[in-house]
Amino acid sequence: MGARPKTIYLPDTMVNWPWPRTINPHHEDVKAEVDASFRDFKALSPKSQEAFDKCDFALLTALLYPKAPREHLRSGCDLMNLFSIVEEYTDMENEAVTKERVDIVLDALHNPHKIRPKGECILGEITRQFWARAIQSASLPSQRHFLETFGEYINSVVVEALDREQSRRRSLDDYLKLRRKTVGVKPSFSIFEMGIDLPDEVFYHPVIMNLADCITELIIIDNDMMSYNKEQAAGNAFHNLISIVMLELDLDRGSAMAWAAHYHTEVQKRFIDGLAKVPSWGPSIDVLVKEYLNGVANLARACHSWSYESQRYFATKGLEIQQTRLIPLLPRSDRKVM
């Protein structure tokens, strides 16, 4: 065998995606507001807060929802912060602790006007404040859809914790089934749905559901390609597409990246082809459907752009890596992350 490669080639998966990068004009204003209110929770240690700030979830939100009015953008920022803090408070914990914290989140979500118990984990109050504000300006269908999809997401976090606890290695198919929930894409649809009164017959139509599934898949592939370097260095390879593809298909790192890029292209085609199969519900509903699907499609572009523009995966080198496509391989640490 030759010397271990010192760089990882990252294929450009989104070069032909028709939806361009756009950003919400309220970005800076809402960022200042939401960052200040989040710090008031004192939910993170100074070191964790510094890492959190580098992720710039307000930027992600502004890219995800470029046309959202200010109040919906604020709710989007609160949701992205909630996803992150749930991860922070669960991703090193066992199933029992994770289940306890997930139950707190669910209780707060279903009782947004109830004062949280004294001494409770801060996740409860963060969730409560997010949802109490969001429901003031969200359509009723979007509220229902959010509670359903967020419930699926948050319960999948418990399953992931059990996988970690048992050092379970999932097959590719099993991994994707779980990852489609843990990635948190479906609840994110609800933010741009807040201003749309989308009937359930549209939301749950098989063609619309399939299109939503395609975008979830694209985001998983991109996310796992970009996070692979950090996760392999930390010894946290159980929950990453590239690591699982390498193991299951007996591929080296470069071939696994190429496999993922090819799969990404197939899913893109499935989405574009699926748009032609969207039925008509009449002019007034069709306008809403078009708005919804454009919002869904933009999520894939937004996550891709943010991955390079924030410091989440590539520190300060993101824009450079976006040009060169080469990531310096991080050495494995001795400490294995659960």
- For residue range 122-142, list pLDDT tens digits in order: 999 999 999 999 999 999 999
The type of residue at 150 is: F
Model confidence pLDDT, tens digit, residues 64-118: 999 999 999 999 999 999 999 999 999 888 999 999 999 999 999 999 999 999 9
pLDDT at 310: 95
Residue 334 pLDDT greater than 60, yes or no: no
Residue 3 pLDDT greater than 60, yes or no: no
For the chain, list the strands marked E by DSSP. 7-9, 326-328
CB 81 within 8 A of CB 125: no
Model confidence pLDDT, tens digit, residues 210-237: 999 999 999 999 999 999 998 888 877 6
CB atoms within 10 A of CB 29: 14
Which among 320, 338, 325 is positioned nearest to 8, based on CA atoms? 325
Q: pLDDT band at residue 167, thresholds of 50, 70 and 90?
A: confident
pLDDT at 91: 85
Phi, psi of 7 (to 5 degrees): -135, 160
Average pLDDT over residues 180-209: 94
Residue 335 pLDDT greater than 80, yes or no: no
- Looking up tokens 């710090």, which residue turns up? 39
Angstrom distance (rounded) from CA 24 to CA 278: 28
Per-chain mean pLDDT for the chain:
93
Residue 324 pLDDT greater than 60, yes or no: yes
pLDDT at 337: 39
Lowest-pLDDT choice from 10-19, 136-145, 162-171: 162-171
